[in-house]
Amino acid sequence: MTTTNAETITLLDGDILRRASLDAIAKLNPITLMRNPVIFVTEIIALLVTIVGAQDLTNANGAAFPLTIAAWLWLTVLFATFAEAVAEGRGRARAESLKRARSDVSAKLLADPEHPEKFTEIAATDLKMGDIVLVSAGDLVPSDGEIITGVASVNESAITGESAPVMRESGGDRSAVTGGTMVVSDWLIVRITADAGATFLDRMIALVEGAERRKTPNEIALNILLAGLTLVFLLAVVTLVGFGQYSGAKLSIPVLAALLVCLIPTTIGGLLSAIGIAGMDRLVRFNVVATSGRAVEAAGDVDALLLDKTGTITFGNRMASGFYPTYGVAARDLAEASAIASLGDDTPEGRSILAFARDKFNLSPEMPANAQIIGFTANTRMSGLDFAGLSFRKGAVESVLKTLAAPPDAAVHEIVARISRAGSTPLGVTANGRLLGVIELKDIVKPGIKARFADLRGMGIRTVMVTGDNRVTAAAIAAEAGVDEYIAEATPQNKLDYIRKMQAEGRLVAMCGDGTNDAPALAQADVGVAMQTGTQAAREAGNMVDLDSDPTKLIEIVEIGKQLLITRGALTTFSIANDISKYFAILPAIFLPTYPALGALNIMQLRSPESAILSAVIFNALIIVVLVPLALRGVKFRAIGAAALLRRNLLVYGVGGIIAPFIGIKAIDILLGIFHIFS
Amino acid sequence: MTIDGLLYIALVFTLVLGAAFPLGHYLAAIFEGRVQFLRKAESAFYRFSGIDPAREMRWQNYAATLILLSFIHFLLLYAILRLQFFLPLNPQHIAGMSPRLAFNTAASFTTNTNWQAYVPEAQISNGAQVFGLTVHMFISAAAGIACAAAVMRAFCAGGLTSLGNFYVDLTRVTFYLLIPVSLIAAILLVAAGVPQSFGPFITAHTINAGLQTIAIGPVALQEAIKEFGTNGGGFFNANSAHPFENPNALTNLFENWLDLVIGFALPIAFGIMLRDKPQGRALMAAMAIILATACIGTYAAEQAGNPLHIAAGVSAHDGNYEGKEVRFGIPASATFNVSATGTSTGAVDSFTDSYTPLGGAIPLFLMQIGEVTPGGVGSGFYTIIIFALLAVFVAGLMVGRTPEYLGKKIQSREIKLAMLGVLVLTLFILGGAGFSLVTKSGLASLANAGPHGLSEMLYAWSSATENNGSAMAGLSADTPLLDYGLGAAMLFGRFAFMIPVLAIAGGLAAKPKLASSAGSFPTTGPLFIGLLIGVIIILGGLQFLPADTLGPLAEHYLLAAGKTF
C-alpha cells in the first residue's frame, strides 16, 4: 500500500516461469509428492496407465488411447506441481532481494562494554546470543540486538524498503536493531539477541521462500477431506470392476483410471499449496511478515480490531478547527492574532492554525522584520511573536489566563469547557496581554475511516479504539470516527484485560503495538502485529511484523486473511462441483458397449466414447493451469457481509463449477473432432 | 400424475410437518429433563437398575455404554431366537433359528434395521416377536434418539465435558415418548381391525370346504413401534401390505405419519435447545425438500406406468399397479415406500421389486445418501449434522473465515471422523454389493438377471448398511454370504458411524462456542438449505452413481427399449 520492498513482481514473470517449469519436474518425486494425497494418487495412476500403454504397445494392441490418457494424467500431475513451483518462485524472488542485505558482515566484539575502544573483529556468523558489539557509523548491524548505550540513526531500508533513517536509542520503545540494517550516524553498543541463522532477517527469508512452510490447521483439515474423498472415489471405481463384470462390461485400466482421476478433487488438490504460499506472499507485498500461516488464517477469523487512536484513526496531531472570540472581539481579529502568534511555530499544530486562518478568512500574514520568536517551553506553556512593541501569544488556557492583566469575562470558561467536552484542546490567544479568544484544536479523524469501519461492521468485525486520552475526549472521538467501542486512559494492563474478556466471549482479537509494554497484549491477541520500529520484545510477542510500522494496516491484514480463505473455499467448491459433469461425460462412454441404451445419458452429445473420456481428462488437467492465476492472485474480498458474499461466491464457484465443465468438455470434444482425434 | 395424487402427498407432509413442531418442543423438554409426569416411575426404575441419573458422561462413556448395552441386547436376542422352541408363547411350535439367521436377525434388530431374512409366520414364535423383536424396536429406537440428544447438547454451549447420561436419555425417551405414543397408536390400530392376541393361529373353514391357517398374534403394538421407531420389521412377511398390519387407507396414512414424525421433530427440538429455532427449521427444510421431491418423483414414475404394460394394452391412465395394493392406490403406495426408505424404516405397503426402474431407484438413492430425509429416529438427525459440518467446511471458507457451525470450529479432527463414517458406509454398500455380484453364492440369491439383479443386490447392501431394512423382494437373503455379510454391514453401518459421530460431538462440546456476527457463515435460510441439499447429494450420493447407472438407470433405458429381466 505504501512502499513495496522488492521490485514489483508481475503475476507470471518469465524468469519465474522458466525456473518453475524445472522445479515442477523435480517435484514429481513421489516421496515429496506424498504430502499431497490427491496428486500423489494421480501420479500412481498415471504410472499405472503408462505401464498398461507400454504393454499394449509391445503387444501391438491399439496403444494410442491408453498412452494419450497417460500423457494427460502426467500433465495433470505436472500442472499441479507447476502451480506450487510458480508460487514458490515468486516468494523466492522476494527473498533474493532480502538476501543481498545479508552479505558477509564483520562484527566488532567488545570484551567490556565500558571500553568500546577495545574490540576484536570477528565474522557476524560467529556471534552468539549475549555477545556485546560496537556498531559505528557506516557499519552494518551484524545481528539482531538490543541497544545498551548510544543513540544513532539507522537506515533500515534493507528490511523495510524505506530509505529515510530512523532513530534508535537505548531504553524505551526504540531500542531494537535488526541485523542487516546500517548505522548512518553516531554509534551504538548492542547486546546480540539472536544466534546466527536465527535472526529476524533469516527468518524472514525462510518465511518468504516458503522453505519453512508448514501446513496451516485449516489446510490440514482440507487435506484430510480431499484424501477422504479420494478414498471414497477409489472405492467407487474399484468396486465398479465387480459391477462391470456382473453386467458383462469389460472395463479397461485406462478407462477406470480416467474416471478416478476425473472424480477425485485434483483441481483443489493441485492448487492448495499454491494458494497458501500466494497468501503469505500477498502479505509480504504489503510489507507484513507473518511468522506462520496460522496467523494469516486467524486474521481472517478476527472479530474485533484493537486500533490505536493516534495515527490510525486520527492523523495523530491536533489541528485548528475553530476560532471562538471573547465578547467584543471580531472573529477575524482573533484569527489574525492567532496566525501572527503562530508564524514562528513550526509544529504541525502551528501550521494548522496558519492554514485554518488562510482557509477561513483568507489571512496570510508575512513574518515582520525584526520579529522575535518566543518559543514554547514546558514552563510557560506558551509561544508567540514579539515585534515592533507588539506581543502575540498562544498557549494552554490556564497558563494564558495567568498572564492577563484583567480577568476575562465568564463566557470564556464556558467556551473552554465546551471545547474540552468535545474532545478537543482549547488554546488561549492574547495580544499585548489582552485575551482575544480561544482556538479549538481538534484531533482530526482521517477521512474515509468511518466508512471503513462501517464496512468492517458489515463483515461482523467490531472496531475498538485504544487511546491514552480521558473518557470525555475518547468518547467524542469514538463517536466521530464511528468505532464500536473505545478503551480510554488505556494502559497495557487494561488492554490485556479487554482482550481476555473478548476471548472469553468467544471472539478473536487482533491488535498492533510497538512498545515492550504492549508485548503481553500482543502475545495474548489472536493476531498481534508488531511494528518493525518497535522493541525486540514486541516483535517476539506478535505473530506478524509490519515492516512499514503502519498501524492502519491491521485492516488490510484482515482482508488478506479473508481473501486467502475465500480463495481456498472457492476452488474447493469449484473442484467438487465439477464432478457432476464428468459423470455425464464418462459413465455413458464406458458403459455404452454393454448397454447401448445408456447413450441417452450422453447429454453433451460427445462424439465417441474415447473422445468423451479424453475430453474429460483434458479438461481436468487444463483447469488447473487456467486457475493458477486466480490461485495466486486470490479471489477478491468484498465487504458485503457473509450472507451476500456466500450467495455471490456460491453462484460463481458452486453453480459455475457445475456448469463450466459441461461447456469445457464439449468444447474440447469439438476440437478433438476437428482434428479427427478418436472420433 | 393426478391432482388427487399430489394432494395426497401434500396431505401427508402437512400432517407430519404440522405435528413435528409441537412434538419437537416436547422432545426438547424430554432431553432437557423438563417433562416429569412419570417422575416416580422413572426414579423407581433408576433405583431398581442401579443407575445414578446425576452422573454426567463424557463422549467416551456415552459411546461405551451405548455399545455395551447394544451388545448385551444383541446376545440376548440371539439367544431368544436360537432357543425360541423351548421358550413360552410358541403355540405353533416353531423351531429355533439357524446360527447364521439368528446372527443376522439379532444384528438387524439391535441396529434398528429390521432386515428380515426370515419368514415371520414360519420362523419366529409370537413370544420371540414380542419379547425379542418388539423390545428391540423400542430400545434401538431410543438409543438412536439418545445419541441425537447427545449430539444436540454438544452445540448448545462451549467448554462442555459431558454429553449427558445415556441411561437417563434412553429411559426418558422410552418412558415419555415411545411407550405412550405406541400404546395409543396400538389401540387406534386395534380399533381399525389390527389383531393383538397371544393365541394360536386361526384355522378357518373356507367356503369350498378347505382349511386355511390365518396367522395372528400381538400385531398392533409391534406395528405401532415398527413405524414410530422407524424399525420396519413386519409381523408378517408381507409387511404393511398385509391387511392385518395395515387394513385400510386410513391406517396407511396413520402409519406413514408415525413413520416420519419423530425424524422431522428432532431438528425442531434441536433449534429449541439451541435457543435458535431457525437453525432447526433449516435442517428440517432440507430433509423435507429432498423427501417431497422423492415422493413426487416415485409417484410420477409409477403413475407413468410400465411401457410394456401399456404396449400390451393396459390403459396408460392406470399406471404401474404391479406389486401394489388396490386398497391404497399408487400415490399412497409410492409415498409410503419412499417415506419408509427416507426414514430407514424399511416398512413397505407395496413391493419395490415390482416398481418401475426409476420408481425403485429413488428409494435406493435415498438410502445411499445416508438416510437423512429425515432418516431413522436419531440417526437421521446426527447424519444430517455430519453433512451440515461438511457443507460448512467446504463452502464456509467462502465467507472468509475458517469454518464454524453453530459457533463451533470445524477442524481436522471433525473432518477425519466424518470422512471415516462416510468411508465405512461406502465400503459396505459398494464393496459388499460389488463382491456379492461376482461370487457364486451371491449370484445364486438373485431372482432376476441383468440390471434388475444388480439393483436387488445393491439395494440389499444399501438397505443393510444404512440400517433401513427394506428389500427388493426378489432376493433370497438367507444364505451364508448375505446373512453374515449383511449382518456385518448393519453392525458397522450403525456403530462404526455412531462412534465417530459421538467422538465429533464430544470434541465439539469441549470447544468454545464462538459468538456469531454479520461475518459468520449463515446456516439458516434458503441459501444454506440449498447448499446442504447439494452437499448431501454430491458428497453423499455421487460415489454410488456409477453402480446405480448399471442397475436401475440401465434397466430404465432398456425397459424403454422393450427389454426385461
pLDDT, one tens digit per residue, over A281-321 is: 888 888 888 877 788 888 988 989 998 887 778 877 788 88
Q: In the prediction, which pLDDT does A103 show?
A: 59
Name the 3-class secondary structure at A394: strand
Query: So what's the pLDDT on residue A3?
Result: 37
Is B369 within 8 Å of B362 (Cβ atoms)? no
Specify whether the CB–CB gap between B350 and B324 falls below 8 A: yes
Q: What is the DSSP code string of A157-186?
A: HHHH---S-EEEESSGGG-EE-TT-EEEEE
The confidence score (pLDDT) of residue A6 equals 41
B337-374 pLDDT, tens digit each:
999 999 999 899 999 989 999 999 999 999 999 999 99
Q: CB contact, 8 Å: A574 with chain B?
A: no
Quickly state the pLDDT bin for B124 (edges 50, 70, 90): very high
Q: Is A308 a catalytic residue?
A: yes
Residues in chain A, pLDDT under 70 = 1-12, 97, 100-104, 160-163, 207-213, 515, 679
**Residue B328 backbone dihedrals phi, psi, to 5 degrees:** -105, -40
DSSP bridge partners of A439? A323, A427
Q: Are B426 and A235 in contact (CB < 8 Å)?
A: yes
Residues paired with A325 in a beta bridge: A437
B15 inside 8 A of chain A by CB: no
- B192 found inside a domain: yes
pLDDT confidence tier of residue B328, bands split at 50, 70 and 90: very high
Nearest to B242 by CA among B329, B321, B134, B350: B350
Given an 8 Å threshold on Cβ–Cβ distance, is B430 in contact with A235? Answer: yes
pLDDT value for A10: 63
Give me the total of CB pairs closer than 8 Å, taking one residue from chain A and one from chain B: 227
What single string gives the DSSP state of each residue in B299-358? HHHHHH--HHHHHTT--GGG---TTB-TTTHHHHHHHHHHHHHHTT----SB-GGGS-HH
Helix (H) or strand (E) holding B254: helix B249-274
pTM: 0.88
The verdict on a CB contact (< 8 Å) between B402 and A217 is yes
Chain B nearest-CA distance from A507, in A, is 6
The cell numbers describing A502, all together, are 473478548
Query: What does DSSP say about strands A182-186 and A151-155: parallel, antiparallel, or unpaired?
Result: antiparallel
Using the CB atoms, write b or e for A129-148: b if 16+ within 10 Å: eebbbbbeeebbbbbbbbbb
Looking up cell 403406495 gives B333
Angle between helices B480-510 and B450-465 (to 10 degrees): 40
Residue B206 CB neighbours (<10 A):
8
Rounded distance between C-alpha atoms, residue B140 and residue B112, angstroms: 5
Question: How far off is chain B from A4, nearest CA to CA, in Å?
Answer: 25
Q: Please, are residues B185 and B143 in contact by the beta-carbon 8 Å criterion?
A: no
Three cell numbers at A383?
509561544
**B85: nearest Cα among B76, B93, B75, B73:** B93
B472 or B488, which is more confident = B488
Residue B407 contacts A where some CB pair is shorter than 8 Å: yes
With the CA atoms of A657, A659, A660 and A662 taken in that order, what torsion angle do they form, in degrees rounded to the nearest 10?
130
Beta bridge partners of A147: A190
Q: Is residue B60 part of a domain?
A: yes
Q: Dihedrals φ, ψ of A392, to 5°? A: -115, 135
Task: Give dist(CA B234, CA B227) in Å, integer.
Answer: 10
User: Which residues, at least 6 apart from A517, have a Cβ–Cβ distance to it below 8 Å?
Assistant: A492
Q: What is the pLDDT of residue B92?
A: 84
Rounded Cα distance, B421 and B417, in Å: 6
Determine which of B550, B556, B558, B564 to mutate to test the interface with A (most A C-beta atoms within 10 Å).
B550
Find residues 110-129 of chain B whose CB sits inside 8 Å of chain A: none
* Residues β-bridged to residue A121: A108
* Structural domain range at position B103: 19-274
Q: Does residue B495 belong to any structural domain of this protein?
A: no
**Amino acid of residue B507:** G
B373: in domain: no
Tell whether B454 is covered by a domain.
Answer: no
Half-sphere exposure in the Cβ direction for B83 (13 Å, CA)? 11
Q: Examine residue B79 and state whether it is found in any structural domain, yes or no.
A: yes
Summarize pLDDT for B437-484 with one digit per residue, the tens.
999 999 999 988 889 999 999 999 999 999 999 988 778 889 999 999
B270: closest CA of chain A, how far (Å) = 21
Residue B220 corresponds to which cell in the numbers above? 398392533
> Which residues touch B207 (CB under 8 Å, ≥6 apart)?
none
Q: How many domains does chain B have?
A: 1
Residue B399 belongs to some domain of the structure: no
Chain A contact probe: residue of B358, B401, B455, B528 with most A CBs at under 10 A: B401
Contact, A621 vs A76, CB < 8 A?
yes
Angle ∠(B2,B4,B9) on CA atoms, nearest 5? 100
- Widest distance between CA atoms in chain A: 116
User: Residue B467 corresponds to which amino acid?
Assistant: N
- B518 shares contact with chain A (CB less than 8 Å): yes
**Partner A contacted by B399 (CB < 8 A):** yes
Helices B412-426 and B379-396: crossing angle in degrees, nearest 10, is 120
Amino acid at B222: Q
Contact B394 A225 (CB under 8 A): yes
Cβ <8 Å between B398 and A597: no
Q: What is the SS3 assignment for A383?
A: strand
Q: What does DSSP say about strands A132-135 and A425-431: parallel, antiparallel, or unpaired?
A: unpaired
Nearest to A568 among B397, B426, B431 (CB): B397
CB atoms within 10 A of CB A328: 7
Tell me the chain B residues in contact with residue A576 when contact means C-beta distances shorter than 8 Å.
394, 538-539
Tell me how far apart the alpha carbons of residues B539 and B240 are, in angstroms, rounded to a whole number: 33
CA nearest to A439, candidates A333, A336, A320: A320
B187 or A531, higher pLDDT:
B187
B526 part of contact set with chain A, CB < 8 Å: no
In whole angstroms, give the CA distance from residue A239 to residue A247.
13
| Minimal Cβ distance to B395: which of A562, A563, A573 | A573
pLDDT computed for residue A4 by the predictor: 39
When scoring A229, A246, A251 by the number of chain B Cβ atoms within 10 A, the one with the most, hence best to mutate, is A246
Please, which residues bridge with residue A443 across strands?
Answer: A318
Asked if the C-beta of A656 comes within 8 angstroms of chain B's C-beta atoms, the answer is no
d(CA A635, CA A572): 12
Do the beta carbons of residue B410 and residue B403 sit within 8 Å? yes
Backbone angles phi, psi at A243, to 5 degrees: -60, -40
Q: d(Cα B186, Cα A270) in Å, to the nearest integer?
A: 59
**ipTM given for this complex:** 0.94
The string of DSSP codes covering A57-88 is HHTTS--HHHHHHHHHHHHHHHHHHHHHHHHH
How do residues B41-53 score in pLDDT, each as one tens digit?
A: 999 999 999 999 9
> Within 13 Å, how many C-alpha atoms sit on residue A269's CB side?
30
Q: Which pLDDT value is given to residue A163?
A: 67
Any domain includes B167 = yes
Q: How far apart are CA B544 and CA B428, in angstroms?
A: 12
Amino acid type, B274: L
Q: Which of A220, A226, A230, A239 to mutate to test the interface with B (most CBs of B within 10 A)?
A: A239
Query: Cβ of B18: how many Cβ atoms within 10 Å?
Result: 12
pLDDT value at residue A7: 45
Interchain contact B552–A (C-beta under 8 A): no
For A616-629, the pLDDT digits (tens) are 999 999 999 999 99
Query: Which has more confidence, B288 or A436?
Result: B288
Which one of the listed residues A56, A139, A173, A308 is annotated catalytic? Answer: A308
8 A C-beta contact, residue A261 and residue A69 = no
Question: Do B190 and B220 form a contact (C-beta atoms < 8 A)?
Answer: yes
